[in-house]
Amino acid sequence: MNRRSFAQSVSGMAVLSLTKASVWAQATAEAKPGKIMAIAAHPGDGLFTMGAVLAQQIERGGAGVLLSLSLGEKGAPRSIPVEQYGEMQRTATQKAAALLGAEAILFSYPDAEMPFNEEISLRVCDVIRQHKPEVVVTHWSGSWHKDHQNCHLIVRDAIFYAGLETLPRSQPAHSVSKTFYAENWEDAANFLPDTYVSIESVYEKWLEACDFYPMWRGQTGFFRYNDYYSSLAVMRGCLSGAKHAVALMSDLNQRTEHVPFL
Ligand SMILES: [Zn+2]
């Protein structure tokens, strides 16, 4: 197999995977667009790693909700007080969500000190029950960042609680159909994407939304978020036959297929 046929093969697999793994993927034009909820530890994670998928779903006629568990305030540069930076993050998220047509929900658990307990898991459960998303996208567990690790665990428990009919809350139970993990430079350990989503039609708008964040523009630290995530979308597009794409990892527990035994 030469490089060209390998690329075509990978591209075909990607589309096949997309079709099989997703009720909301662009490749399945007949699929009814549903609601996606992105749940991130910090607002930047939500927009940079999950925002394009939200935008793509909204563009198709579906709906998107972004929940950030903190304001990411401790990512402040030395020149800006932490509280002030948190408010800048809040404003950026509201502007970005409005541009994409998504609903933004911002919790204010302390950045870098994200708890993992029943209180926060049940609070996220309540948001899931209220908004009833078919799909949830969140952090992969293989992260060096403790807030990201905790967010992964919080969402795992929240989805379980949300679907548990015998757990009384203010809203009735709601079962999330699919869970995916976003590609994040900080969550790279053992991240193995299997689902590619074309974001061709929303790429520019997504970049514009990310640009509301000082972090995206390189004003808070060394990492080149803009270059990394804009290029990543190009690279994932190369592998999936699209101009720009996002790669996601489906939850291992939803990969089982039931087929007739031959
Ligand atoms: Zn983060």
Nearest to 140 by CA among 93, 188, 92, 86: 188
Instruction: Compute the distance between CA of residue 253 and CA of residue 180 in angstroms, rounded to an integer.
Output: 11
Identify the band that residue 4 occupies on the pLDDT scale cut at 50, 70 and 90. very low
Q: Supply 186's token pair.
A: 């900080």
Q: Supply 197's token pair.
A: 């989503």
Expressed in angstroms and rounded, the spacing between residue 172 Cα and the centre of ligand 1 is 31
Query: What tens digit of pLDDT does each residue of 134-153 get?
Result: 999 999 999 999 999 999 99
| pTM to 2 decimal places | 0.89
Summarize the confidence of residues 63-70 as an average pLDDT: 98
Summarize the confidence of residues 207-232 as an average pLDDT: 95
Query: What tens digit of pLDDT does each residue of 178-207 get?
Result: 999 999 999 999 999 999 999 999 999 999
- pLDDT over 50 (residue 58): yes
Expressed in angstroms and rounded, the spacing between residue 68 Cα and the centre of ligand 1 is 10
Summarize the confidence of residues 28-38 as an average pLDDT: 78
Which structural domains are found in the chain, ordered by start? 3-250 (3.40.50.10320)
Identify the band that residue 262 occupies on the pLDDT scale cut at 50, 70 and 90. low
Expressed in angstroms and rounded, the spacing between residue 70 Cα and the centre of ligand 1 is 9
- pLDDT over 80 (residue 89): yes
The answer to whether the beta carbons of residues 171 and 72 sit under 8 Å apart is: no
- pLDDT over 90 (residue 70): yes
- pLDDT over 50 (residue 22): no
Average pLDDT score over the chain: 90
Expressed in angstroms and rounded, the spacing between residue 86 Cα and the centre of ligand 1 is 13
Q: What's the confidence (pLDDT) of residue 259?
A: 77
Phi, psi of 6 (to 5 degrees): -65, -45
Identify the band that residue 31 occupies on the pLDDT scale cut at 50, 70 and 90. low
Q: What's the confidence (pLDDT) of residue 254?
A: 86
Expressed in angstroms and rounded, the spacing between residue 41 Cα and the centre of ligand 1 is 6
The answer to whether the beta carbons of residues 193 and 249 sit under 8 Å apart is: yes
Q: Supply 45's token pair.
A: 């994670």
Expressed in angstroms and rounded, the spacing between residue 106 Cα and the centre of ligand 1 is 14
Expressed in angstroms and rounded, the spacing between residue 44 Cα and the centre of ligand 1 is 7
Q: Could you tell me what percent of the chain has a pLDDT over 90?
A: 82
Phi, psi of 210 (to 5 degrees): -65, -30
Expressed in angstroms and rounded, the spacing between residue 10 Cα and the centre of ligand 1 is 30
Expressed in angstroms and rounded, the spacing between residue 42 Cα and the centre of ligand 1 is 5
